[in-house]
Amino acid sequence: MKHFHQFIALIALVGVITACNNQPATTTTELAVPVSVTDIKPGSIEKVINTTGTLNATKTTVLKTEMTGKYRLLVNPRTHRPFALGDVVENGQVIIQLEDAEYVNGIGLESKRLNLEISEQNMKKQQSLFEKGGVTQLDYRNSEVSYTNAKDAFERANLQLAKMNVQVPFKGVITDLPAITNSTQVASGTSVVSLMDYNIMTVEVNLPEKYITDVVIDQTVRIMNYTLPNDTLHGSVKELSPAISTETRTFKGVIQVANPDLKLRPGMFAKADIVLARKDSVIVIPKDIIISGQRGKTVFIVENGTANEKRITLGYETQDKAEITSGLKMNDRLVIKGFETLKNRSKVKIVK
């Protein structure tokens, strides 16, 4: 009886084991991670120095009176009103006149002009007579001297009279015009107008010493002002100091930029990007998709529905882009969204 019970127990145990073995197996299916991709195409990238500086006009001057007289502001022929701040003036244009009748009369311009005419006529007459033998060579030479003296006197009178005018020395814009009432007596040496030419502007910048062998004259520079973010002007490096400041470890450079529409104004703060070099037809990717880890810098590409982690080497870099010199090839399908949770060999589903 004892052996029978042992036999029954053995059969029951075998049944339990068999039942357990017949339970369905538990399986796990890997879910595909949704990602966005882009096909790598040839791109361009530049090696750039980002710097800033203040815009300055290339020409500035303050015009002063040379003589004493009554102030008179002239009318601008372009606007048909007296010259005012912001007016464009031409080289040689007179914008202010001083009036002093006593001084003008003392110059005697009209009498000197008449004397010049008479001297010229007499010289021509003496020349004709000399050629016919009617006068001596000395008579003719004396008439030449008289004409030369009369001409010099007339020119000096004109120069003296011109001192009563405030004349523009270059084309520019009026930036300051003191409020002086017409007919006010002003002394010589009085500042009466400030002028500026900013069709061409300069930016003085301080550059890190590590770039002293990279920056050269005539390199292209992009100029941007923060108040005009959509307008980029192009200039060039015009001056470079060979000396490095021991205090700031920088060297000085001067950038020049054409400003034909006068969008840039003197005193504006500007961003200047000096283009040191440029590469075309290279692999360029967004910097924000690059992962930095123990394996170095990596990105993911998609091959046959699987994410493959690729180790990469960087070349030129900008604020938001990087050149890839190894690790990727043209037409690779680069993951640009959804890479944060990926692992090497993860299954992926491409979405827009």
For residue 14, being part of any structural domain is answered with: no
For residue 127, report the phi and psi dihedrals to the nearest 5 degrees: -65, -45
Res 9: pLDDT: 43
Give the list of residues 6+ apart from residue 282 with CB closer than 8 angstroms, or none: 42, 43, 44, 45, 315, 323, 324
CA distances from 160 to 65, 103, 105, 164, 170 (A): 13, 9, 11, 8, 21
Task: Show the beta-strand stretches assigned E in 149-305.
Answer: 165-167, 172-176, 185-186, 191-208, 220-225, 228-244, 250-258, 269-286, 291-293, 296-303
Return the percent helix, strand and coil in the chain, to nearest 5.
25, 45, 30
Domain end residue (candidates: 231, 256, 278)? 278
CATH code at 155? 1.10.287
Q: Are residues 78 and 175 in the same domain?
A: yes
Q: Which residues of the chain have pLDDT under 70?
A: 1-29, 104, 106-107, 109
Are the CB atoms for 257 and 201 separated by under 8 Å? Answer: yes
DSSP 24: P
| Six token digits for residue 352 | 């827009």
Q: To which residue do tokens 């002086």 refer?
A: 180
- Residues 120, 216, single domain; the answer is no
* Residues 178 and 92 occupy one common structural domain: yes
Same-domain status, 79 and 170? yes
Residue 29: its pLDDT value, please?
A: 65
Amino acid identity of 51?
A: T
DSSP string, 43-71: EEEEEEEEEEEEEEEEEEEEEE-SS-EEE
Q: Are residues 328 and 215 in the same domain?
A: no
Domain for residue 330, yes or no? yes
Judgement on whether residues 128 and 229 belong to the same structural domain of the protein: no
Task: Report the domain count for the chain.
Answer: 4
pLDDT for 290: 97
For residue 3, the model assigns a pLDDT of 43
Asked if 153 and 92 sit in the same domain, the reply is no
* Listed residues 154, 189, 224: the one ending a domain: 189
Residue 7 inside a domain? The answer is no
**Is the residue at 118 inside a domain?**
yes
Whether residue 271 is found in the same domain as residue 156: no
Same domain, 208 and 228: yes
Same domain, 108 and 138: yes
Supply the pLDDT for residue 106. Answer: 67
Residue-level pLDDT at 14: 41
Q: Give the DSSP H or E segment for 144.
A: helix 137-162
Structural domain that includes position 259: 49-56+198-278
DSSP 288: G
